[in-house]
Chain A
């Protein structure tokens, strides 16, 4: 149980274009989903917290107009990187948690974004 998927696993896009990453909880309903970014050999940096049906809460320093988050259902959250630039190249990971286990977060496999 508690499986989280992400799509795509890898994406290469040109500078100035937008990219959408999907995060799905496959066997449970996720009350909250989180989006992280990981730089090479660094820890996970929380970007935003997403609750179904409401606006995402962004961490300090994260541009909400650049990283658009939509949590339209209890099983799907999307992160759209708008007008991507090479410095947005990174490993993006989502996680989800559900009511029965309010503390544990279950992570997706991650998406490697490369902006050329």
Chain B
């Protein structure tokens, strides 16, 4: 049973426009959510996170929105840049569970110049 799902395997967006990545989860014990960016043959890089007590967190071009009632979060990147082309993973943690991360399947983003 996949507890964290990213239903869009890929996304193509024009440079300068907004990229919106979605993530759904099923485990109501998750209380912290993170987004990671990953290039091929490299480890994931932490982008931004949000606690379940918040519904929005912003850091520069990246904003994460959390809708607890819908068990849904999204990552907005604006404006999108060619260097943003990568695979983005959503991850969730249940604080009591040793802070293990459960990852979604990833969304491949391609930003076209």
> Which positions in A face B, CB cutoff 8 Å?
4, 6, 32, 34, 42-44, 46, 49, 57, 91, 93, 95, 97, 102-110, 112
Partner of B41, one of A43, A49, A91, A107: A91
Partner of B100, one of A43, A49, A106: A49
Task: Indicate if the CB atoms of B104 and A103 lie closer than 8 Å.
Answer: no
Interface of A is mostly: strand
Partner of A43, one of B49, B99, B104: B104
Which of B42, B95, B99 has its CB near the most chain A CB atoms (within 10 A)? B99
* Total number of residue pairs linking A and B with CB closer than 8 Å: 53
Closest to B31 in A: A103
Q: Which residues of A contact B99 (CB under 8 A)?
A: 32, 97, 102-103
Beyond A107-B36, A108-B43, A109-B42, 17 additional contacts (C-beta under 8 Å) are A4-B43, A32-B99, A42-B105, A43-B103, A44-B103, A46-B101, A91-B41, A93-B44, A95-B43, A102-B99, A103-B34, A103-B49, A103-B95, A104-B34, A107-B46, A110-B41, A110-B42
Which of A57, A93, A107, A108 has its CB near the most chain B CB atoms (within 10 A)? A107
CA distance A109 to B36 in the complex (A): 13
CA distance A106 to B43 in the complex (A): 9
Task: Indicate if the CB atoms of A32 and B98 lie closer than 8 Å.
Answer: yes
Chain B proximity of A41: nearest CB distance (Å): 8
Chain A proximity of B51: nearest CB distance (Å): 8
CA distance A106 to B95 in the complex (A): 17
Which of A46, A91, A93, A103 has its CB near the most chain B CB atoms (within 10 A)? A103
Task: Indicate if the CB atoms of A44 and B98 lie closer than 8 Å.
Answer: no
Chain B proximity of A35: nearest CB distance (Å): 12
Closest to A110 in B: B43
Partner of B44, one of A57, A102, A107: A107
Task: Indicate if the CB atoms of A93 and B98 lie closer than 8 Å.
Answer: no
Known contacts A34-B100, A46-B101, A102-B99; A107 and B106 CB within 8 A of each other: no
